[in-house]
Amino acid sequence: MYQKIKGTDDLYGDQIKYWYWIEEKARKLSTIYGYGEIRTPIFEETKLFVRSVGQDTDIVQKEMYTFEDKGGRSITLRPEGTAPVVRAFVENGMLAQGLPQKYFYIGPMFRYERPQSGRQRQFHQFGAEIFGSPSPIADAELIIFADRLLKELGLVDYEIHINSLGNEDDRINYKDALKEYYAQHLESLCDDCKMRYERNVLRLLDCKIDVKYAENAPKITDYLGGESEKHYKELKRLLTSAGIDYVEDPRLVRGLDYYNRTVFEVHHHRLGAMSAIAGGGRYDGLIKEIGGKEVPALGFAAGIERLILSLKAENVQVDEISKNVVYVTYLGSKEARDEAVKLAELLRSEGIPTGLELMERSISAQLKHASRIGAKFCVIIGEDELERDVVVIKNMETGEQVEFEKNFVVNGIKDMITEMQ
């Protein structure tokens, strides 16, 4: 028997309603906030991710699904959505459409991580990106949007963490301070961290092994220059004035290299170790870095699997997907079958979810099946009914049967459905 690849999932049955719930609300809210959808390919040139996410990040070092295609090119399944959207923005000359521009996406991402609850190798993100604004009002609007989305989904038990990473100049002094601090612990650091110490000292702060050292490390916010500090202060003021609850988290650095100034993460209180349900920030240098003009930008992404775990943990009731309300059954003859097909089509064209017997079972087996799949009404087309131009409707809850003239059957069923609601 074949098995799915470790860290991937088959989604069907009762799971699907959660995906509809999130995707529909995310699409609707994105439109309300002025985001247009963008769909980029699932794989890209490997270089794109190395350049944007960063050579020394865990994603690039350990987690990418990279392979050579038959033309000898190095290809990577996208581990995240920002780099592809930025690539599309530059490649398609989208800057010419004026600024700001706002895009959202929903789709699968791939990271070779150790699978556990809330951590998959194929997972899905809803992401949003804003191009063009350097102003903290854009950062505030983005965080307000993320918060609003979570609330619309029905979540309440989460916390928004924010921090500022300053700009490149601010980080020169900060990196020196970090080096000085970590120098005392160098011997006891994990092998990866020893390498990070040499190559990209900021990455030491999000090591999953040497967490205890990060706790006492110098804080980036003590090293912000005037402009960065002003930006961060104004963001906080705007968030407070908009009624958004947040906590400042001076050790939040995020696991991708492209960020500057604002970074944020949303943590759900009931998810245990994998509690980050969304994360993002500003990446003012990235568009230029991959060949475009200097265009400030920012965005965030939420993990859909983790949102679903949160919905379940908070016991949020999501809409059921409407199953077959009516089931059309019939007895053997050709005429009865023709009639059944026509009637099922008529009910469906009226928007009534309708099932049709496809297995040609006995009438009692058909009724049993209808009740198993939760149909509210059965249409029964028998020889006798055919002759008299009538149809029998059986209420599956009460067992009551009524006869309708063929021409009135659609209205009859509609009335019965309305009565039931």
* Residues at the contact surface with ligand HAM, assessed by CB under 6 A: 80-82, 111, 113, 118-120, 123, 125, 127, 129, 255-256, 276-281, 299-303, 305-306
Q: Which is nearer to ligand HAM, 117 or 188 (CB)?
A: 117
CB-nearer residue toward ligand HAM: 256 or 413 = 256
- Least distance in Å: CB of 199 to ligand HAM? 20
- Which residues, including other chains, have CB under 8 Å from residue 59's CB and lie 6 or more apart? 49, 53, 79, 80, 111, 255, 256
Judged by CB, which is closer to ligand HAM: 36, or 374?
A: 36
User: In which order are the strands placed within the sheet that holds 158-164?
Assistant: 36-37, 101-110, 122-131, 297-303, 276-282, 260-268, 158-164, 247-248
Q: How far is the CB of 320 from ligand HAM (least distance, A)?
A: 25
Query: How many angstroms separate the first and last alpha carbons of the chain?
Result: 45
Please state, in angstroms and rounded to a whole number, the distance separating the CA atoms of residues 147 and 158: 9
Min dist. Cβ of residue 181 to ligand HAM (A): 25
Beta bridge partners of 381: 330
From the CB of 182, what's the least distance to ligand HAM, in Å?
A: 24
Shortest distance, CB of residue 144 to ligand HAM, whole angstroms? Answer: 16
Pick between residue 144 and residue 336 the one whose CB is nearest to ligand HAM: 144
User: In this complex, which beta carbon is closest to ligand HAM, that of residue 267 or of residue 376?
Assistant: 267
Q: Which residue is nearest to ligand HAM (CB)?
A: 303
Nearer to ligand HAM, 280 or 296 (CB): 280
**Residue (30 or 354) nearer to ligand HAM, CB:** 30
Q: Closest approach of Cβ 125 to ligand HAM, in Å?
A: 5
Q: How far is the CB of 252 from ligand HAM (least distance, A)?
A: 11
Token couple for 233:
């202060």
The residues, any chain, with a CB within 8 Å of residue 55's CB and separated by 6 or more, are: 61, 199, 257
**Across-strand partners of 230?**
none
Of 296 and 303, nearer to ligand HAM (C-beta) is 303
Q: For ligand HAM, which is the closer residue by CB, 108 or 250?
A: 108
Tokens 């960020």 appear where? 259
- What is the bridge-based pairing of β-strands 158-164 and 122-131? unpaired
State the minimum distance, in angstroms, from the CB of residue 82 to ligand HAM. Answer: 4
Least distance (Å) from ligand HAM to the CB of residue 352?
38
Angle between the 136-153 and 304-313 helix axes, to the nearest 10 degrees?
50
